[in-house]
Every structure is written in structure tokens, then in C-alpha cells.
Chain A
Amino acid sequence: MSSLERSDVARLAALARIDMTDQDLDRMAGQLSAIVDAVAKVAEVADSDVVATSHPIPMANIHREDVVRLSLTQEQALSAAPASEDGRFRVPQILGEEA
């Protein structure tokens, strides 16, 4: 396992949809490398015969009847939207400027 380069952080930030300035990338690369080096020690003990645990308490699927229940109204659901139109969330254009 290796430390994170500046270009790795730029790629990850793009995947996570967070704009970062050059300054951000420099700072984050240093801090994240230190953290990644530290957490890499989990590999020391995690040999193949240890079962992975995703959840602390055993869980089972829960089912209910498929019936309509009282929930948020359309008005309530849209009440905090940055923009809405005709009872729907309004978003900026989806395709890039080049399209």
C-alpha cells in the first residue's frame, strides 16, 4: 500500500464531487498520506480465515405489507429545495456546455 499522491487526491475529490484548489490538494495529500499509512496496519492481522463483520448486531430483513402510508406531502418534500418547478425539484442543466 502506498501513500497518496496529489494526483490521487485530485481524482478522488472529483469522484466525490468536491472542487479542490491547488492549495487544498497540497494540504490534503500530506494529511491523507499520514492517515493512510497509519490505518494500513489493519492488513497485519486480517488474514483470510477471519470472517468480516459489517454490522455489530446480527440483523435480519424486515418486511411489511405493501400499503400506502401517510408520508411527507409533495409540498413538504419540496419545502427546502434550492429550486423547484411544477411540483418537482429543479436542477441545473445535466449535459455539459459542449453538448
Chain B
Amino acid sequence: MTDWNNAGEIIRATAAQMADAMAAGHVTSVQLTQAHLDRIGAVDGAVHAFLHVDAEGALATAASVDADRAGGKALPALAGVPIALKDLLVTKGLPTTSGSKILEGWIPPYDATVTRKIREARMPILGKTNLDEFAMGSSTEHSGYGPTHNPWDLERIPGGSGGGSSAALAAWESPLAVGSDTGGSIRQPASFTGTVGVKPTYGGVSRYGAIALASSLDQLGPCGRTVLDTAMLHEVMGGHDEMDATSLNEPVPAVVAAAREGARGDLTGMRIGVVKELRGDGNFANGDFATGEPGDDAGGYQPGVKQRFQESLDKLRDAGAEIVEVSCPNFQYALAAYYLILPAEASSNLAKFDSVRFGLRVETGTVERTMAATRAAGFGDEVKRRIVLGTYALSAGFYDAYYGSAQKVRTLIQQDFAAAFELADVLVSPTTPTTPFKLGERIDDPLAMYLNDVATIPANLAGIPGMSLPSGVAPEDGLPTGFQILAPAREDARLYRVGAALEAALVAEWGGSLMDQAPTLEIDTAEARA
């Protein structure tokens, strides 16, 4: 169906189709890679998904894959399919900033484990994508290098922290991307851009060489435009790594097989639990963060978000799944616990930016004064806020009340999940309460920004896997809505089975993927120039 000689068409193919077309000799990796580089050149001025583009390196990898294929050599499944990496993944010889001015110009002397695996999979690395500084944020507006714009509406945020990776997919600048998820930084941008994103089980993907935000919450994961593509990347990234002490010493779950099985559309016997507290009817999501008092009847959830969620539930029921309701009463404390644990761990992790071994140095007298001047100049406001908050939470006299209590909440959240998974095989909710908000709308109100992550944070506190996939567009604003699926630890395959079944049912109803409804951007940018 795809005309593989048409650059405008091939960038819209799925990664799986690209791999098949290369194997069949319809297209080369150089053609594919060049088509994506051309697309980046055409639209990234408006989208700003990339902080660094490596055309030379990507084309060199592509050419070597094409040569090996012509020579009849066996190649990995995704060999020659281009990819983009979130700029907190260190890449030997390629700039890595984590969105921070304190690392401007840094060229890492080593590769992250996931970078190495991507290279071994022979995937051309198109470049590094934008993020909130050190992954602290929900909009990419906290990037030290300017925000990323949502391809569905350039006036709106693409989500965060991995807004660059998800926007690159939604703008057809890359078919696949790597993200990281500490409190929703893969799933929330996926929801906001009409794409798919997965946070694997904690320990399922090595964190070695991923610039740490909060080590007990961070997890790298795959981003794609379809569930199958995301599964294929998951299998490339996953697996045990002795360089990461928290890496699970277990085989990667068979997520590609699960995605293929799910796409057949039969979920008979699957119990799907709707989390009462995240369903969006009069709960804490739009209520008072401090008191837990519920908000209005809509629960802070946009009507279109709730509508698309209900429709997706109906599709799952039609596929044979049993829908049950579960309650996780301690989720109302999840945000509060998260915003203690994360700053505490971040304040420690970011101590390494001390102007001694790498990064910026603002020399001012003694080494101590130089550190303070460097960190003042190199860190943005949100990073400073969280470091100070973390320093406070860990300080003598407050440790038990704040950090200690937050760790106890973490136990209660895990107990809620354990009880819920007695009743259901997977849990579901809308990924976010609303569709993407406008640039600048929440930048001066940190608490309002934090509330956006109400549905995604519990999974990080418990270490369980989660997926967001498109459930449609909200009728009131035409912007994408996301459907979140959560599974018990190590059961990542269930996400893919249920996600692929839902995707197949929705694509059949829409007569094509949701991305077919996205703006083409060429028209938009031409209009903007006129």
C-alpha cells in the first residue's frame, strides 16, 4: 500500500512495515533515514522536538545496514529503522544535555546501556530529543533550550518530560523513540500527542547511562505510533545489565508475541479493573491537593476525556473482557508522597553537577563559591525548587515527618495495587485528566502542573508497568486523549495484549490510525510563513 519511493508516504509507515519493506527490498535504510532527516529539516523549526540532529552518524549506520543486507548478512529485526533518543541518555561522541544549560556542550565519553543496545540493533540514531530539564516537568517548558510544541496544535505543550520524543513521533520525524518515565514522562506525552508509550516494570530496562532524576522511580521505556512498534523497541531495550544494580535478572517479557496475540481482538477471560479513584467522577484529581477534598462532578476530567475512556471500555467488553471496578483509596496520597520522594532523590543525584568533572564552571573565588555560582547559573527554576525541597525533606528534624512518611505511603500504594490485582488482571484509567494545555498556562503554578500526573504517578511508586495508547480525540477541542493500562510487576506482556486489542478495535472504527487525523504540519508551517 505504501509507495516506498514517496518520501512523504514512507515516514508515515510503521516501524514494523519499514523493517518488512527493507527485508523485501522495497526501500533502503538510507532512503528511510534521509526521508526522516528531510522531514526534521522541514518541520522541526516549528516543533522543536530535537536538541541535536546527527545526520552524518545516522546515514553512516543506514549505509552499513544496507551494505550488510545486500551482502546477505543476517540482521536484527529493527536494523535500519531510524530512532530518536531522549537527551538524558548518554551517547558517546554525541552531545548530551538532559535539557540543562549546566551540561551545554558536554560530549559523553561512554554510551548508556540502552544506547549500546540501539547501536547493536543497527538502528540509525537521528538525534537527541528535548525534555524538561533533568526530566523535571510535565510540559517541556522547563527545558533550558526552549519548549517543544505539540504537532496537533503548535500553541500547546506536548507533555513532559519526554515531550520531544513523543512530538517527534507525532510529527513523523521519527518512527520510534526512547523515553524515560519517573512519574508519567513517557505516558503523559504519549497521551497528549496521540502516540503510544510504555513504562516497563522497574528494573526491566537498564538505567546505566541514563542521567538520573529519582533512582527508585526512573525507568526507561519505548515510544512508538503503534502498540506493535512499541513492543518491538521494548524487546531491543530490555534485559539484565550488570552495570545497573537494580536491573532484574530475568528474560525480557515476550511483548511482541503479546501484541500480535492481542491484535487478534479476543480478550476472553481477561479481567479489566477500572480504578474508581482515577475514573474522573468527583475525586481528588481536581480537588484540593492538600486536603483531598473532592472537586466538582467532573472530577477535573474534561468531558471528552471521560467519553473516550468509556468508549474504549465498551470496546474491551466487546472483545470479551470482563470489566470490574476496583478501589485504591490511598492513591489520594500518591502525589504528595511523590513530590517528597522525587525531590529528595533528585537533590542527591544532582549533587554531581559541581563544576569539577564536567559541565559548566562559573569560577568565583573558592571551589565552594564556584559550585554555588555554577549551579545558580546552570540550573533552571524548577530544578532549583526541587533541589531545595528535597534538601528540606531530608534535613534533620523533618526527615521522619516528610521522607519517612512518604515511604510509608509508598507501602500503602503497593498494598492498594496488590488488592486490586487480586480482582483484575490489568487496571485502566484515562492517562491524563485533560487534553494538552496551552504553552505558558501552568508555568507559574507548580502545583497545577503537578496535578496533571495524578493518574500516572502511582505506577512509579509501586514499580509496576504502564502503557498509554490513543483513545481518540476529545470532541470539544479535537485534541488527543489517552487510555492508560497498568499491570502487575513483570507482567508487561499484559499491557501489550490488552493495548493491541483496543488499538485494533479503535482503528477498525476510525478506518485508520488516530495519527491519520493529525495535522500534516507542512500546511501549517507554510501558512505560518505566509
Residues on A facing B (Cβ under 8 Å): 1, 4, 8-9, 12-20, 24, 28, 31-32, 34-47, 50-57, 59, 62, 64, 72, 76-77, 79-83, 89, 91-97
Contact = CB atoms under 8 A, between A and B. Distances in A.
B288 to A, nearest CB: 9
Given A39-B402, A51-B411, A53-B407, A18 B291 contact: no
Contacts of B406: 39, 42, 46
B472 to A, nearest CB: 32
Contacts of A45: 330, 333, 408-409, 412
Interface stretch (B44-52, B67-75, B351-359): B351-359
Interface residues of B, number: 75
Contacts of B391: 12, 15-16
B388 A46 contact: no
B109 interface: yes
A46 B339 CA distance: 16
B107 interface: yes
B107 A80 contact: yes
Contacts of A51: 408, 411
B504 interface: no
B388 A57 contact: no
A35 B368 contact: no
B361 A83 contact: yes
Contacts of A77: 109, 357
Those 6 A-B pairs whose CB atoms lie nearest each other, nearest first: A56-B463, A46-B405, A82-B361, A52-B407, A19-B376, A46-B408
B340 interface: yes
A28 B384 contact: yes
Contacts of A92: 363, 365-367, 370
B447 interface: yes
Contacts of A95: 366
Residue of A20, A46, A59 with most chain B CB atoms under a 10 A cut-off: A46
B386 to A, nearest CB: 9
A1 B202 CA distance: 33
Contacts of A17: 354, 368, 371-372, 375
A32 B358 CA distance: 30
Given A19-B375, A93-B367, A50 B411 contact: yes
The majority secondary structure among interface residues of chain A is loop
Interface in B128-145: none
Given A80-B357, A82-B355, A92-B365, A39 B336 contact: yes
Contacts of B379: 18
Interface stretch (B5-13, B27-35, B178-186, B240-248): B240-248
Given A18-B372, A37-B290, A12 B395 contact: yes
B421 interface: no
A92 B371 CA distance: 10
Given A18-B388, A19-B376, A51-B408, A42 B340 contact: yes
B242 to A, nearest CB: 7
B246 A81 contact: no
Nearest to B245: A62
Contacts of B479: none
Most buried by B among A54, A76, A83, A89: A54
A35 B370 CA distance: 29
17 contacts: A1-B398, A14-B372, A15-B391, A17-B354, A17-B368, A17-B375, A24-B384, A28-B385, A32-B392, A39-B336, A42-B406, A51-B408, A62-B245, A76-B109, A80-B109, A82-B359, A94-B368
A31 to B, nearest CB: 6
B242 A39 contact: no
Interface string B190-208: 0000000000011100000
A34 to B, nearest CB: 6
B366 A93 contact: yes
Which of A17, A31, A82 has the largest count of B CB atoms less than 10 A from its CB? A17
